[in-house]
Structures are given as C-alpha cells and as structure tokens.
Chains A and B, each alone.
Chain A
Amino acid sequence: MSAASVMARVDRDRARSWLQDYGVYVGVAAIVLFNVVFTPGFVSLENFRVQAVQAAPIVVVALGMALVIATGGIDLSVGAVMALSAAFVSLYLGYGPLVSVLVALLVGAVAGAVNGTIVAVAGVQAIIVTLAMMIAGRGLALVLVPQLEGIRNPALREFGSGSVAGVPYVVWVAALMVALVLFLVRRTLFGRRLVAVGGNRRAAELSGLPVRRTLLLVYTLCGALAAVAGVMTTARLQASDPNSVGLLIELSAITAVVVGGTPLSGGRVRVAGTVAGAILMQLLVATLIKHNLPPSWTQMAQTAVIIAAVYVARERGRS
C-alpha cells in the first residue's frame, strides 16, 4: 500500500465514527428531502400527523431495545409482547379500559422479567431466550384471542385517534417515553449501570454493581415499553389481531437502535439517535409504499440499512 492510502485511512476512521454518530440525521434529512421533491402530498399537516402516529410504536419499542442492546443483549420478543398485550386489552376490556390497559402493561413487564431472569440469573444468551419468548408469546396471544377481534370502546378509540393541542395522544405518549428513557439514561444510577454492564461486565461486577438486578430491570422495562406500543396499536386499529400486531417490529427496532449509533456490542446508548432511527424506519416504509413497491421491498430495504449500519460500526473500538 502506498503512503497516501495509509494517510487516507485516518480520515476514513474519523469519517466512520462521525457517520456512526450522526449518519442517522443525514439519513432522515435525505429521505425527507426526497419525499418533499418526489412524493405528492408529502408536505401536509395531515401526512405529518399520520407519519408521527405510525412512528410512535416503533419509537417506543426501539427505546426499550436501545437499553437492552446497551447492556450487550438483544430482545427479539418485542413484537410478540406487543401481540400479547393487545390480546390482554381485549380480554380485560370488560373491566373497563383503564384496567385492561394496566393489565396489558403488567403482562408486558412480566414477559420482560421472565426474559431478564433467564438472561441474568441462568446466564443463557439473550438471543436464544428472547427467541423462545418470541415464539411462545405470540403463540399464547393466539390461544387467548384466536382471531382478529374488534374493540369498541370510546375511550380507547379516543386514545388511538384523538389529539390534544393538535398532536395525537399516541405521539404525546411516545414523547413521554422518550423523556423518561432520556432521564433514566442521563440522570440515574440505573442509566450509568446499564452501560457499564454492557461495556465490561466483569469490571462492573468487581466494582460492586448489581449486574443481575440491572439486567433484570432492563428486560422488564423493554417488555413494558413493548406493551405500551401494543396498547397504542390496538387503540389505533380498534382491534386486537394477534397475528399481525407487532409483526417484524423487532427488525425495525434493532435497525433503529443500530442506525442511531448504539453499537450492537453494547457499552453505549444513544437515545436521540434511536428516536431518529425509528423515524427513519417509518419514513422508509412509507416512502416505499407511497411509490407502490411491494412490502417485501421494505424488509429488504431495512435489511440493507441494518447491514450498512453494522458495517459502519464495525471498525470502531478496534484501533
């Protein structure tokens, strides 16, 4: 290799690390720009509202995923947990909307806690534990609610499609979750612990950090956030459909997290990047649909994005 190419490498390293941190914002800007130019009707208040409403569950799920990934784990069961919580909303609707929503959230948290316990205490790999939960969770949802079930409840309908101050309720809730997770990560002991556990578990242990408790809490939180997303989706669709609620959302969520600059190996968490990543995923899907490309294209596009993101993140932390 020539000397020039050696020197070019330095710049490449810097570019790569910049891309990992800020690439997602460039991506969002680019896709917005593309749509402004090529998609008729993109620039309208109504469309913004639709996009925001559809992005909301992805954002919420991705937040939980970001926390899990920061500890060096992964949660493939988020979609199944969404379906499970949707099933419980319809099962307990007889007790009133509030009770059914609370039960649904609790169920999500419990599913997450089960994941967390097996990962933290038994030390089984997260990918295997949550894969099992992904299959079992959706299976259970299908047993409880075998087919699409309409939900007629004025309060839930209002939550799913109403707005306050021009902003849909679900977007408010997503914003609240973002604020909550930001607070956890920036200000609390728990937030410091989860990145330390992901960065070097052994050092965390030796420093007296409650490693298992931290992991348990992270997975529980991820489950609860998935349940929030499940409730949002149910309220918006006015139906509980265990077959389709949250299907493949784990792919979008993981992509959002990685594109947003949180490395898959853990030790770092980027909340704002994750939110931008989730928005990017939503816009990607919307754009492809608007331009009449089949849904399988969406999945391929997502896969391409995640591979690109992992590639960019690859070289960091090695030199």
Chain B
Amino acid sequence: MPTDRGTPVLRARGLVKRFPGVRALAGVDLDLHPGRVHALVGENGAGKSTLIKVLTGVHGRDGGELELDGRPAGFATPAEAQRAGLATIYQEVDLLPLLSVARNLFLGREPRWFGLIDFPRMHREAAEALGEYGVHVDVRRPLGDLSMGARQMVALARAVSARARVVIMDEPTSSLEPREVHTLFEVIGRLRGRGIAVVYVSHRLDELYEVCDDVTVLRDGHAVHSGPLAGLERLRLIALMLGRDMSEVAREGATTFAGAHDVAGGAPALTAEALTARHRLRGVSLDIRPGEVVGLGGLLGSGRTETARAVAGDLALEEGRVAVAGLPVRGRGTAAAIRAGISLLPEDRKHEGIVPGLSVRENIALAAMPRLSRFGLVSERRVDRVVSTFMERLRIKATGPSQKVEELSGGNQQKVLLARWLALNPAVLLLDEPTRGIDVGAKAEVQRLVDELAEDGLGVLLISSDLEELVEGADRVVVLKDGAVVGELSGASVTEDALVDAIARGEASPVVRDRSDGGAGAAPEEEVER
C-alpha cells in the first residue's frame, strides 16, 4: 500500500458490483489523493469503467464503502456526484452532436439574461474555456462537425468546473492526436497543480508513465496491485494486467506486427482514383495490393477518415473511381461497396457501429445477414456458426452471444464490430482506428489478426493516430493533408521520425512518389480542425 499521504479525497473500500452473469467488481479498494494522478489499468472487461460508474453514481453498488474527505458518501445519480465535486468524462462521450459546441459546453447551466440564454456571453465564454484546452473552433457550429478529439476536449471542459475536486477520465486519449494528447497532459498538469485528484484510464502505457503518479491494476474485478507508478517496471505492469509471468510477456514485443508482408503482384486489391468531394477530398488516389497493409498518415481533418468513407461508398463523390481487384464497384452507396468486397470499420464506435439493444450475436451478423439468408429468411444455424467462430477467434468476452452489446466493456464492443466486418469475408478491409480502446493483450491479437488477414491476400488500409502502430503495421504509409495526398513513405523509410516529419511539413522527407495535385502546397495553413 502507498505510504501515508494524509486523508484521501476519495476512498473506496471493498466495492462490489454484480451484473447478471458477471461480477464486474469483487471488492475493490481505491484511494485518491489531492494533487496526484492515479492510473487505472487492466484488460478489456477488467472493470475499470464499472468502477468509475459505481464511484460516480451511474450504477448502484452491491457492497462496499465510499468516503469523501473521510466522511461516508454515496451518490445516487451522476448529477449528485458532480455537485459533490467529482467531474467525470465517461468512456463513451455522450454529448449532443446536433447542438452547437457552446450549447453542449453549457448544457443545463447556460448564462441567462432575463431568463433567456445570453448567447453572446455563452459564445464568448465557450471560446475562452475551449481555448485553454487547445481547441480553437467556431463554437456556434454543431458539435458533430468536430473531430472526435475535439469533442473529447469539449467533454473535458464541460466536466471540469471550478468546484471539481476529483477529475475522472475514462480513456480520454483513445481518439486523440499526439498533439492533442500533449495539450491534455498540460491540462492534467494544471489540475494536479490545483490539488485536484485525477483518475486516468488508458491502455497506452507510455502515457501512463508520462503523466501518472500512482497506479491500481484491475483484473477480473479485483484490484491486484496498488501503489506508486515510478519504479514499477513496464513489463511487470503488463504481467500484472494479464496475470501472466514477466518472462512470458518479455518474449512478445510491444507491437506484434510481424513486419513486412509478402505483397502479391497482379491487379491491386483496391484502386481508388481521384476521389474528390467538396471541401473534404481533393483528388486522392491510392492503391492497395493483395497482402499489403497501407497506412494513412496525417493530422485530424487531413482527410483520412473521409478517404476511407469515400472508398466504402459512404461519402458522395463529385469525381473518382473505386475498383476492387480491377473490377469497378458497380452502383453507389455502402451496399454496393460491401458487395464488391469492401469493409469499413468506422472510427466512432458508439454512433456508427454499435446497435444498442441488440445482442452481441445480432450485432456481429448485421452486415453479413443477407449472405446468411435465403429468400429473405434468416438461417439461424448459419448465423450461429459465424457468430461463434468470430467470438472465439477474437476472444470476445461476453456471457454469451445473446448478451446485449451495450453491456460489454468498450474494448469488447470494438471486437464485436471487427467481427461484423470480418464476417463479410472482405477483399479489402479499411480500418479506422481499429485498436481504439483495446487493451494490450487484445491489441496484440488485433494486430496479429491484421497480419494474418494480409497474409491471406487481403488488402488492408490502416488509419491510426498511434504512430507506432502505423509504422509497425504498414508496409507503406500514404500521407494526407487538407484532403490531398502529399507524400508517401515505403520500405525502410517508414519510420516514426520520418512520419512525424512528413505529417508536420505536409510532405514526405524522402518523397518516393509525389502525387499531390499541385494545389496542396499552396493550401493555406488551417488551424481549425475539422
């Protein structure tokens, strides 16, 4: 146990939380001290989010004690916890995409002027508040226009009020760019300086070591370790999370990508030519050969997600052609792309992926359903077979195929989505942030899977804000800026440094092939994120 540091702000003893079929928390202790950043780590489904939800009154608890400033406490609703000084950003950011950024920020506590919302003041204050978090956007625009990262910052700014004593962040960086992560760390530094206790959940170990003071490791609902982070070896931390030997862990590296793939010759698995969409894409061309993993590099708003969406038929194009194995995709829309063998794992798990209320089984089978049916009738037997294959292959942790998908931990939901797209047996797989929110073990599995799929001759497009993942996983990286290709790295020149350089300068240092349309260099520097 940590050395005596006075009374913790928040102290939990023996917290228990049961869900039908699982014990998500089996007696967890947690001490949060003022001015210290406390890491909460563990595999997908270990109970991190549940612990946070029990602390903040989202879930009731089935046992255990909670103390705030040494006095017994307990919150019946998240609002009550918020009033008591617990500011929380939950894993699934839940803001209202159609309302303006400023409205989202001030929802429920808008500045009033004779009973009406004082819009000028609200907009001014919103812009100021967000500026502190490095977000410079027009606060009158709908929140939905913002990147995931910027939305995360809005959620953070919203949660952290002046009265906050404890700030809890459940995987805040999973959709952030390196630059934004940096801003976030500055914010955390300031919070710590103000004597606020911070809880930080992340699967990215580098970040933990950079920003956290203490750590609690959860495994299957138990707190298996708690103490200062400094001096705790990285390998030992992983071993604690996975419940395995250190030597065993040491044998597997950081990422499990196997390195270069045997890229087959012949027709490319995917050819995209001159993809053009107003304000978003300006003539993006790329091809992926069978067995090749092509990475897409670039900042937020550079057009990576849009490129993937365009290829998958989800973005109306003014111009551009997409072909799979040399055959043009016939028709428009996502259904046509899927028929042609293109699968897209979208980046926004909650809004674009998960169908809440449906079971794990129905979610996995969603896209493949037409193939598992005949004459409009679903073959339950075939669905069961596909579902159980993928649940096993991706090791999805659920009480069974009929469990509701919302009840799964974040990482396992991500695996369900991956299963949905793999069940289509695609020729081209577009992965937009595939390891977002996935734990070290599962991340390795996904990366291994990507390798395997490539070996089977699949063409893979990989988008990731984790540069290490991009460099290790991709055979080639195409760099985008302002909706146009500005460079490409391949072979030995795919290194993290070269990539950072290429992204920052908007051109690849060793330009192998420059396919920019000439307009990219002249494009104005745009600070506003899309």
Contacts and interface: CB of A to CB of B under 8 A. Distances in A.
Interface of A: 1-3, 5-10, 13, 187-190, 192-193, 195-196, 199-200, 202-210, 263, 267-268, 317, 319
Given A187-B377, A192-B369, A9 B60 contact: yes
Contacts of B62: 7, 10
B276 to A, nearest CB: 21
A202 B60 contact: no
Given A187-B377, A189-B376, A206-B346, A7 B356 contact: no
Contact of B420 (A187, A199, A207): A207
A21 B136 CA distance: 47
A208 B351 contact: no
Rank and list the top 9 A-B pairs by shortest CB-CB distance, nearest first.
A10-B60, A9-B60, A207-B367, A208-B335, A199-B355, A208-B338, A267-B357, A1-B76, A6-B74
A1 B77 CA distance: 9
A267 B60 contact: no
Give chain B's interface secondary structure class: mixed
B467 interface: no
B370 A203 contact: no
28 contacts: A2-B74, A6-B60, A6-B75, A8-B60, A10-B61, A187-B378, A192-B362, A192-B369, A193-B369, A195-B355, A196-B362, A199-B356, A203-B352, A204-B355, A204-B366, A205-B314, A206-B312, A207-B334, A208-B335, A208-B367, A209-B366, A210-B335, A263-B357, A267-B355, A267-B357, A317-B406, A319-B58, A319-B59
B131 interface: no
A3 B366 CA distance: 42
A304 to B, nearest CB: 26
Contacts of B351: 200, 202-203
Contacts of B353: 200, 203, 206
Contact of B74 (A3, A10, A196, A203): A3
Nearest to A8: B60
B355 A188 contact: no
B344 interface: yes
Interface string B73-84: 011100010000
Nearest to B334: A208
B76 A6 contact: yes
B377 A1 contact: no
A204 B352 CA distance: 8
B132 to A, nearest CB: 30
Nearest to B66: A3
B369 A203 contact: no
Interface string B366-385: 11011001001110000000
B357 A1 contact: no
Nearest to B362: A192
B286 interface: no
Contacts of B14: none
Contact size range, B:
35 or more
B337 to A, nearest CB: 8
B189 interface: no
A119 B59 CA distance: 37
Given A188-B377, A199-B357, 16 more contacts: A1-B80, A6-B60, A6-B61, A6-B76, A188-B376, A189-B369, A189-B370, A192-B365, A196-B362, A200-B352, A204-B366, A205-B334, A207-B367, A208-B334, A208-B337, A267-B357
A6 B358 contact: no
B354 interface: yes
B57 A6 contact: yes
A318 to B, nearest CB: 9
A216 to B, nearest CB: 15
B356 A200 contact: yes
B512 to A, nearest CB: 33
A9 B365 CA distance: 34
B357 A188 contact: no
Nearest to B344: A206
Most buried by A among B66, B72, B378: B378
A146 B376 CA distance: 43
A108 B379 CA distance: 32
B74 A1 contact: yes
Nearest to B368: A207
Contacts of A319: 53, 58-59
A195 B61 contact: no
Contacts of B365: 192
B377 A196 contact: no
B191 to A, nearest CB: 27
B25 to A, nearest CB: 13
Most buried by A among B353, B357, B369: B357
B357 A317 contact: yes
Interface string B313-332: 01000000000000000000
Contacts of A205: 314, 334
Nearest to B63: A7
Contacts of B354: 200, 203
Nearest to B80: A1
Nearest to B336: A208
A207 B364 CA distance: 11
Nearest to B59: A319
B378 A189 contact: yes
B47 to A, nearest CB: 16
A66 to B, nearest CB: 15
B314 A196 contact: no
Contacts of A207: 334, 338, 366-367, 420
Contacts of B53: 319
Interface string B40-76: 0000000000000100011111100110000010111
Contact of A9 (B76, B366, B367): B76
A297 B344 CA distance: 55
A10 to B, nearest CB: 4
A317 B356 contact: yes
